[in-house]
Amino acid sequence: MGPRQAAAPNPRPLSAARTRGYIPFMTVLEIARLGHPILLARARPVEDPSAPAIRTLARDMIETMREAGGIGLAAPQVHASLRLVVALPITSRETCREVEPLVLVNPELEALDGGIEEALEGCLSIPGLRGLVPRARRVGFRGFDLAGRPIAGEAEGLPARILQHELDHLDGVLFPMRMTDLRSLAFESELHHLEGGSEPPSVAAMPSAVGLGR
Ligand code: NI
């Protein structure tokens, strides 16, 4: 998974041969990393959420997310500039592998009452780094499923954070661009230096639970 030289119009198989043997019809896609221009572009709406190609993309995104140990993934991260995200509606990291991922096509979010809270985030496109990001604690979401049916709901806490992070990807926004204090940007291996400080408690309290994409 090295850095890419240029944007590609379609997701490209990374290890299809490797996965095809035991997970038929699923492909682990290459993840775009910080510096690739597709991560800064505004993704275009999906014209037909029920199109077979979109279903395939969503399925491969779920497989890619799981393979990478992530808990959310947006289509631009696999070189598809489309408004599609997958996210695990998890309440704890221990159970997140078992629940069915939420697939949202052409999603929209609105912040609900509940205030703003800060917590550590990471991103599969920025491997190894974490930072404190303020997000709305509660959000309402709506979009379409892979059958083209409208879906809507509310999320709170970590699932709300995941959705905000992934929808940001659709508008070319990466988590460091949401940080209000870049001093908390740190490699995972250095996070222990932040523990025990006078602020903020969330660093020590949820280092692994809030890692989006790692
Ligand atoms: Ni991300």
pLDDT tens digit string along 141-168? 999 999 999 999 999 999 999 999 999 9
CA atoms of 131 and 183, how far apart (whole Å): 8
The whole domain housing 200 covers 16-205
- Residue with tokens 């809270």, as numbered in its chain: 117
* Any domain includes 213: no
Q: Compute the mean pLDDT over every residue in the chain, rounded to the nearest whole number.
A: 83
Distance in Å, CA 51 to ligand 1 centroid: 25
- Mark whether 166 is an active-site residue: yes
Confidence of residue 7 (pLDDT cuts 50, 70, 90): very low
132 in a structural domain: yes
The closest of 111, 85, 101, 58 to 171, measured between CA atoms, is 85
- How much distance in Å is there from the Cα of 72 to the middle of ligand 1? 7
Q: Catalytic pick from 67, 166, 188, 199?
A: 166
Distance from Cα 12 to the centre of ligand 1, integer Å: 18
CATH of the domain at 27: 3.90.45.10
Q: Do β-strands 102-111 and 116-121 pair in parallel, antiparallel, or remain unpaired?
A: unpaired
Query: C-alpha distances in angstroms, 149 versus 21, 51, 111, 142, 154?
Result: 33, 12, 23, 11, 17
CA distance 97 to 72: 12
Q: Measure 54 CA to ligand 1 centroid, in angstroms.
A: 20
In a domain, 41, yes or no: yes
- Residue 3 covered by a domain: no
210 found inside a domain:
no
**Is the residue at 8 inside a domain?**
no
How many other C-beta atoms lie within 10 A of the C-beta of residue 15?
Answer: 14
Query: What's the gap in Å between 61 CA and the centre of ligand 1?
Result: 13
- Model-level pTM? 0.80
- Contact status, residue 72 vs residue 85, Cβ threshold 8 Å: yes
**Which are the contacts of 102, defined by CB distance < 8 A and separation ≥ 6?**
86, 87, 88, 89
Give distance in angstroms: CA of 39 to centre of ligand 1.
Answer: 9
Asked if residue 104 lies in contact with residue 57, where contact means CB atoms within 8 angstroms, the answer is no
pLDDT tens figures, 87-98: 987 665 555 556
> What are 122's two structure tokens?
């990471």
Looking at the chain, the whole-number percentage of residues with pLDDT higher than 90 is 71
Question: What confidence score (pLDDT) does residue 206 get?
Answer: 37
Residue 25 lies in a domain: yes
pLDDT value for 65 = 96
CA of 125 to the centre of ligand 1 (A): 6
pLDDT surpasses 80 at 40: yes
Q: Mind listing the pLDDT tens digit for each residue in 55-111?
A: 999 999 999 999 999 999 999 999 999 999 999 876 655 555 567 899 999 999 999
pLDDT at 195: 62
Number of domains in the chain: 1
What pLDDT score does 44 carry? 98
Is residue 135 a part of any domain in this protein?
yes
Provide the pLDDT for residue 101: 93
